[in-house]
Amino acid sequence: MLRLFLGIALPGLLRDRIATVLNGIPEARWIHPADAHITLRFIGEVPEDSAEELDGQLRVTRFPGGPLTLRGFDTFSTKRGVRALFIPVLPTPALLALHDKCETVCQQIGLPASRERYHPHVTLARFSPPATGRVEQVAAANTDWPGGTFTPSHLTLFRSHLGRSGPLYEELAAYPLSPESGQTG
Q: Which of 37, 119, 154, 161 is catalytic?
A: 37
pLDDT one-digit tens code per residue, 88-121:
999 999 999 999 999 999 999 999 999 989 999 9
Is 154 known to be catalytic? no
Check 32, 99, 119, 121 and give the catalytic one: 121
Residue-range domain boundaries for the chain: 2-178
pTM: 0.91
C-beta of residue 1 within 8 angstroms of C-beta of residue 22: no
Percentage with pLDDT > 90 across the chain: 70
**121 carries an active-site annotation:** yes
Q: What CATH topology corresponds to 2-178?
A: Cyclic Phosphodiesterase; Chain: A, (3.90.1140)
Q: Please report, for residues 24, 71, 145, the alpha-carbon distance to residue 20 in angstroms, rounded to integers and kept in the order given.
A: 11, 15, 12
